Amino acid sequence: MEDSRHDAPSPDNDRWRHSVEKEEDQQSEEDVITHVADPFGDESNAETKYRTLEWWQCGMIMIAETVSLGILSLPSAVAVLGLVPALILIVGLGIVATYTGYVIGQFKLRYPQVHSMGDAGELLFHPLGLSRFGREFMGTAQLFFLIFVMGSHLLTFSVMLDTVTDHATCSIVFGIVGLVVSFIFALPRTLRKVSWFSFASFASIIAALLITMIAIAIQRPGDGKVDATTTVSLSKGFLAVTNIVFAYAGHVAFFGFISEMKTPTDYPKTLYLLQLTDTSMYVIAAVVIYVYGGKDVKSPALSSTSPITAKIAYGIAIPTIVIAGVINGHVASKYVYVRLFRGTDHMHKRTFLSVGSWIAITLVLWVIAWIISEAIPVFNTLLSLITSLFASWFTYGLSGIFWLFLNRGLYGASWKKMVLTAINLVIVGIGACLCGMGLWVSGKAIHDDSSGASFSTLQSSHDSTSLRTMLDDGDRYNVADVLESNGGSRANKPDRSLNEEDLIEMPQNFPTWRKWVITVMLGLMTVCVTFASSVFSTATKQTAKKFGVSTEVMVLGVSLFVLGFAFGPIIFGPLSELYGRKRPMFLGMFVFAIFQIPVTVAQNLQTIFICRFLGGIFANAPLAIVSGILADMFEPVERGIVMAIFATATFIGPVAESVVGGFVTISYLGWRWTEYITAIWAFAISGIGVLVMPKAFEGTLLTKCAKRLRTKTKNWTLHAKAEEKVVRPRDIAVRYILRPFQMLVQEPILLLITLHVGFLYGFLYTCFVAYPISFQEERSWNDGVGALPFVAIICGVFIERLYAAMAEFSQRNG
């Protein structure tokens, strides 16, 4: 009975399936709808059944997922925006979120096979011939968003334990505790079992908010003044708006929730239960806490009372902090799990493979979320970043696109359709505005906020003694020693009794563990771009056959990328000296990742060759800048080891791609996935790196510090050495174009080393052509097995680097 209700055929669905089959006959095998049936299939004899949720159980899950982190930031948003604008936004965005949620339900009922945003993206992009790209693009975005939400819950868990225990230990320990607890609660495979947790979550947030509101009404920490409106900067005001948007950001999981409902047509009742509950709670909690807490109300809101009350409220809120994250983690794990086992018996069995895979997927995702939670220890900024990148589209913009897709060709059929078309176009615009503006204000907030330290091990938020800042007497770098004033006279040096906000942390003063975290991150970026440089070599046969050219022509895909490497230093070398290391490097990484996408969907040789060349230029950003960052952080004695790691990464990347690319090209994925993997890797490592990597160039750091101190001390002659010279185009041309050739001529040792390195890299890339001839053509090995001899090169590189490290260690220790 359950299956018949869930899989009941409809004329619309039959017509759609017929159209899909007709289109598939006309398109290539690379662009087909992978699934046109319910994600969980026939459950009549299944050991594990998924479609078991009643509408009220699904509603409680939605409430538990949505009403948690969002409500904790709303009172501070009201304080920033003013009471009237904030109420209008809370209620107005709630109404819009209700409509967009309803559209998601319509889309799911029209296409029952949709289980995730990835499945929806496959349908949206199918008319364009890009169904596979749509599936991977939107599916990856959904997974990233859910992982960030999981990380934000772990962060709140750390804040909660830090408050309750009076900063008993470092935040990393609290984060690990949250990781373990969340992982254990995320082990059930079905949402029905998770739904029972949601009742505890709902009860805990209600109890915690009641305690907070009663206590704050009694203690009245505010001044009693209520601002109907406020005057606030655009960036600060929009940062508060993003927190309100995040309070409704549960739509990303709605497809998964509906998929496990016993009767999907009951979804509107579930949606109305959610929206009435969360909007009313948001209004009541935000207004009461703001009115009595005043303009300085804290975020999260549970900290707005006395320390004792805050501890009690946090303790009672533990279930909602954990379970809301667990629900998002369950949806993320289920997305990966369904992608792996959809259409197989493992979905419904309790075998070692099925259960073990679920546990492994869950553990990996929670570990990634924990890393993110430790890398961004700023609550409001984290909420803003999540909202800007993902919630703006998943909650608002995409629903407008869903409606336009459902009603394509009918926009002018009646006046109602025309009005709804206009409304949904506005909703798409709202999503785009929230995304663009939100990215700007969140990026500005991250840039301006100097209080958050990645992977912080501080005993409390007030203890900064572990930071080795420039003005400490024992540090190698000192503002008073490097900033000049009035010709450098000691009498005019900056005052050494400055506040902590005036301090900057120089890269050579970073703790050792932080230097190595940054080094590993830089190594992964280097491996990524060098991997991309030669990964196309494994696709030369397939692409030559597809485009009707010789393999010699397709080798240009590799040659042009490497040629782009030659032009990269001319661009990114000067940029790293003028604007610091971080901005040019990640600009290059993001643009490089973007240029991988046209190659994946290319239908002609011009697109492949042009985008490979441009991708090579921007991929050179890490290669040109990483060594400078390492030199900024490490003393000359330590620099040898880290430079050896960097050199190892430049060799491992192109060699590893031969093995990976070989097996990918002979699998069902095809040659295009060599570029998909590169793009996904580049976006992922760049996104994490932007959050983890600090600014490391001494010149820009001291310039920024001098500018801040001039304003504070009113000593307008105070400046950094970097400000004494105005860089002209001629200086750039001489330093970065002419001087390298001058050094090659005047320094024989440099010339010989350059020739030696050039020969090694030339030989290495020659192997990418020679090995396939020797092991694949001559010995008839397939592309995957034929690439395994490259493992010997990797082993040789590791042995050499290990020997070099041991030699340097023994030399240091006599």
pLDDT of the residue at 411: 87
In angstroms, rounded to a whole number, what is the distance separating the alpha carbons of residues 793 and 746?
34
Q: Strand, helix or coil at 476?
A: coil
Domain boundaries, the chain: 2-448, 511-694+726-812
Q: 505 near 467, Cβ under 8 Å?
A: yes
* Ramachandran angles phi, psi of 483, nearest 5°: -95, 140
Q: Which span out of 221-230, 399-408, 718-727, 802-811 was modeled with the highest average pLDDT?
A: 399-408
pLDDT tens for 202-211 read 888 888 888 8
Give the CB-side neighbour count of residue 107, counting CA atoms within 13 A.
30
51 phi and psi angles, rounded to 5 deg = -80, 75
* The pLDDT value given to residue 22: 46
**Beta bridge partner(s), residue 53:** 261
Dihedral in degrees, nearest 10, Cα atoms 764, 770, 771, 777: 170
Do 2-448 and 511-694+726-812 fold alike per CATH? no
C-alpha to C-alpha distance for 448 and 469, rounded to whole angstroms: 18
The continuous run of DSSP H or E covering 483 comes out as strand 483-484
Please give the single-letter amino acid code of residue 276.
L
Q: Which CATH number describes the domain made up of 2-448?
A: 1.20.1740
> Confidence band (pLDDT; 50, 70, 90) for 25?
very low
pLDDT of residue 168: 62
Q: From the options 1.20.1250.20, 3.40.605.10, 1.10.3720.10, 3.30.960.10, give the CATH code of 511-694+726-812.
A: 1.20.1250.20
Chain centre distance of CA 466: 28
Mean of pLDDT values over 720-736: 64
Q: Is the pLDDT of residue 462 over 60?
A: no
Task: Give the pLDDT of residue 562.
Answer: 82
CB 125 within 8 A of CB 143: no
Rounded CA-CA distance 558/542 in Å is: 14
DSSP SS3 for 506 = coil
Average pLDDT over the chain reads: 76
Tally of residues, the chain: 814
> What's the average model confidence in pLDDT over 169-176?
75
Q: In the prediction, which pLDDT does 426 show?
A: 93
| Number of neighbouring beta carbons within 10 Å of residue 682 | 25
Q: If DSSP codes are grouped into helix, strand and coil, which group holds residue 510?
A: coil
Res. 589: pLDDT tops 50: yes
Task: Kindly report, residue by residue over 419-452, the tens digit of the pLDDT.
Answer: 999 999 999 998 888 888 877 877 776 666 544 4
Asked whether the beta carbons of 60 and 198 are under 8 A apart, the reply is: yes
The whole-number average pLDDT for the span 463-472 is 29
Q: Is 515 helix (H, G, I), strand (E, B) or coil?
A: helix
Give the integer Cα–Cα distance in Å for 389 and 380.
14
- pLDDT beyond 60 at 14: no
Average pLDDT over residues 69-98: 86
* From 254-268, 471-485, 688-702, 722-736, the region with the lowest mean pLDDT: 471-485
The pLDDT value given to residue 605: 84
Distance of CA 15 to the CA centre of its chain: 38
Reported as a single tens digit per residue, the pLDDT across 654-675 is: 777 777 777 777 777 788 888 8
Largest CA distance in the chain: 88
Is the confidence at residue 801, as pLDDT, over 50? yes
Which pLDDT belongs to residue 91? Answer: 92
- pLDDT at position 70 is 61
Residue 103 · residue 405 · CB < 8 Å: no
Closest by CA position to 737, among listed 565, 573, 563: 573
Q: Is the pTM of this model over 0.75?
A: no
Shortest CA distance to 470 belongs to which of 452, 439, 496?
A: 496
